């Protein structure tokens, strides 16, 4: 999408003349002529020095702990079913928690905000977080994965897509219409902060669909959850749900905020305890039919110096060994984790089996439609009369073939994602049932 604007053009001589004709310039010129030029210059010099000192003091204050918190509930260009309820309140809770820590964060809070405002605030955030001790970027709202790229949706994101549109063109448009994860990581990496953290409470159901041939509705991108992203050096990326999973609204951020305030807990302890409690509560919600099963995940390439970072420094609980160490899981926790893993394996295998069944059905429909065309046209050697019954049958068969060809790449991408999840869960490759056949 081009952002170029045609501007009026003035000659350099015209601009210089207009600048010299301002009241301020005329006043200074008159002062110089009366012999007061040196006094004015000295006053200007002191003013500039004062501004420089102020700016330097502000940067020194900012370069400690900085956070950009974004929450989006309202989407002006998405259907009513895509509106959220708790993303803004999640963002407000985390912002308040970070601001009230003993060593508080300088927080930028944006709610229900569009692309232009986010872009300007990110620029300011990057400047303030230069060489900071810790820089955090948090997002709560809708996030989608499309052909290996993650995109965070803002209030004015418009991401309608046509089924016949090339993947490259869709990605280019998404990059400008959304907050692309690639840009988030690049901007945060630019700060050179000692510890860089991205927190994504955006693993909700995909709200975007398009109308394909024959009136069918298909999802743009994966059905739920974000794709896994490799963290740059010195960065931790935290997801409220693991790759390909959906998350329960409000659960992750509420638990994380509570653990951020615990004194004496290191960075990895905070996220490990958050992950454990989310997994427990999600298991209960899923069993009661009030939520989905999910587990947060962190991907990191942290430097050793960052591992000792504490959101809330302070004395550790009595009896804790020194130096601090993370206690191993209890027998009950290991049992719960194994049960969770087993359930996720079963769910993923069922989803993969259903996907393979659909792919097999599509292949059969594709072959049948192709046979209809070949039979009626003698393998495309005999034309059919326009408007005849044979003509209409060929048109219907062609629509089926086009629809299946357009949906095939998305189904293959979903198949690859489910297979990756199963491998991550420790399922041997030979146990992951392959697709029945290739088209």
pLDDT tops 80 at residue 254: yes
Amino acid 106: pLDDT:
95
Q: Mean pLDDT, to the nearest integer, of 351-368?
A: 86
pTM of the model: 0.63
Rounded Cα–Cα distance for residues 269 and 307 (Å): 9
Each residue's pLDDT tens digit, 159-210: 776 666 788 888 888 888 999 999 999 999 999 999 999 999 986 666 665 4
Q: What is the CATH number of the domain that holds 123?
A: 3.40.50.1460
User: Of the given ranges (115-119, 136-140, 422-426, 433-437), which has the lowest mean pLDDT?
Assistant: 433-437
Asked whether residue 105 is assigned to any structural domain, the reply reads: yes
Asked whether residue 244 is assigned to any structural domain, the reply reads: yes
Report the side by side order of strands in the sheet with 235-239: 106-111, 65-71, 134-140, 195-201, 235-239, 297-300
Amino acid 208: pLDDT:
61
Asked whether residue 46 is assigned to any structural domain, the reply reads: no
Rounded Cα–Cα distance for residues 293 and 299 (Å): 20
Structure tokens at 365: 């429909």
Each residue's pLDDT tens digit, 291-324: 888 889 898 889 888 889 999 988 655 544 444 4
More confident residue, 48 or 106: 106
Round the average pLDDT of the chain to a whole number and report it: 78
Q: Mean pLDDT, to the nearest integer, of 274-290?
A: 88
* Number of structural domains the chain divides into: 2
Each residue's pLDDT tens digit, 196-223: 999 999 866 666 654 333 333 233 445 5
Q: Are residues 308 and 350 in the same domain?
A: no
pLDDT tops 80 at residue 31: no
Please provide residue 311's backbone torsions phi and psi, each rounded to the nearest 5 degrees: -70, -40
Structure tokens at 77: 């260009």
Hey, CA dihedral for 306, 310, 314, 320, is it positive or negative? negative
Q: Yes or no: say if 294 and 247 are a contact pair by the CB < 8 Å rule.
A: yes
For residues 348, 350, 352 and 354, what is the CA-based torsion angle, rounded to 10 degrees? -150
Q: Are residues 300 and 376 in the same domain?
A: no
Hey, CA dihedral for 68, 74, 76, 82, is it positive or negative? positive
Q: Are residues 369 and 297 in the same domain?
A: no
Please provide residue 53's backbone torsions phi and psi, each rounded to the nearest 5 degrees: -65, -40
More confident residue, 214 or 343: 343
Domain that residue 152 falls in: 62-314
Rounded Cα–Cα distance for residues 219 and 206 (Å): 7
Amino acid 290: pLDDT:
87
Q: Mean pLDDT, to the nearest integer, of 89-113?
A: 96
Report the side by side order of strands in the sheet with 179-180: 143-146, 149-152, 179-180
Q: Yes or no: say if 172 and 159 are a contact pair by the CB < 8 Å rule.
A: no
Amino acid 215: pLDDT:
34
Asked whether residue 436 is assigned to any structural domain, the reply reads: no
Q: Mean pLDDT, to the nearest integer, of 328-334?
A: 59
Q: Are residues 161 and 232 in the same domain?
A: yes
Amino acid 382: pLDDT:
85
Asked whether residue 69 is assigned to any structural domain, the reply reads: yes
Amino acid 311: pLDDT:
96
Helix boundaries (H) for 224-330: 251-260, 267-287
pLDDT tops 60 at residue 57: no
Q: Are residues 83 and 126 in the same domain?
A: yes
Amino acid 184: pLDDT:
92
Q: Are residues 288 and 365 in the same domain?
A: no
% of the chain exceeding 90 in pLDDT = 32
For residues 259, 263, 269 and 275, what is the CA-based torsion angle, rounded to 10 degrees? -10
Q: Are residues 253 and 304 in the same domain?
A: yes
Asked whether residue 166 is assigned to any structural domain, the reply reads: yes
């Amino acid at each position: 999408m081009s952002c170029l604007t045609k501007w009026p053009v003035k000659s350099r001589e015209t601009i210089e003349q207009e600048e010299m004709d301002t009241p301020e310039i005329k006043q200074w010129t008159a002062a110089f002529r009366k012999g007061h030029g040196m006094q004015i210059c000295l006053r200007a010099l002191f003013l500039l020095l004062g501004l420089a000192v102020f700016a330097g003091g502000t940067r020194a204050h900012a370069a400690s702990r900085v956070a950009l918190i974004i929450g989006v509930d309202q989407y002006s260009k998405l259907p009513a079913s895509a509106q959220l309820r708790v993303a803004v309140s999640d963002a407000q809770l985390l912002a308040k928690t970070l601001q009230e820590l003993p060593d508080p964060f300088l927080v930028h809070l944006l709610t229900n905000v569009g692309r232009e405002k986010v872009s300007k605030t990110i620029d300011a955030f990057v400047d303030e977080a230069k060489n900071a001790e810790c820089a955090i970027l948090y997002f709560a709202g809708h996030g989608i994965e499309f052909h290996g790229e993650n995109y965070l949706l803002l209030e004015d994101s418009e991401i309608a897509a046509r089924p016949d549109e090339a993947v490259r063109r869709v990605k280019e448009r998404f990059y400008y219409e959304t907050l692309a994860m690639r840009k988030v990581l690049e901007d945060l990496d630019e700060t050179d902060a000692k510890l860089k953290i991205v927190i994504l409470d955006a693993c909700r159901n995909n709200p975007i669909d398009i109308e394909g041939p024959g009136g069918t509705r298909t999802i743009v991108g994966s059905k739920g959850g974000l794709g896994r992203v490799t963290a740059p050096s010195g960065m931790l990326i935290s997801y409220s749900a693991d790759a390909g999973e959906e998350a329960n609204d409000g659960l992750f951020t509420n638990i994380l905020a509570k653990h951020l305030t615990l004194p004496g807990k290191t960075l990895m302890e905070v996220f490990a305890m958050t992950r454990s409690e989310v997994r427990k509560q999600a298991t209960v919600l899923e069993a009661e039919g009030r939520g989905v099963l999910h587990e947060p995940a962190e991907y990191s390439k942290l430097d050793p110096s960052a591992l000792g970072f504490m959101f809330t420094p302070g004395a550790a609980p009595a009896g804790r060994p020194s130096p601090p160490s993370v206690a191993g899981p209890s027998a009950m926790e290991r049992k719960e984790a194994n049960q969770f893993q087993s359930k996720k394996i079963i769910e993923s295998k069922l989803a993969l089996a259903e996907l393979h069944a659909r792919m097999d059905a599509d292949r059969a429909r594709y072959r049948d439609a192709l046979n209809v065309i070949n039979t009626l046209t003698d393998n495309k050697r005999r034309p059919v009369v326009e408007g005849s019954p044979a003509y209409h049958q060929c048109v219907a068969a062609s629509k089926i073939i086009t629809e299946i060809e357009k949906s095939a790449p998305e189904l293959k991408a979903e198949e690859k994602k489910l297979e990756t999840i199963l491998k991550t869960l420790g399922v041997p490759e030979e146990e992951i049932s392959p697709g029945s056949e290739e088209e």
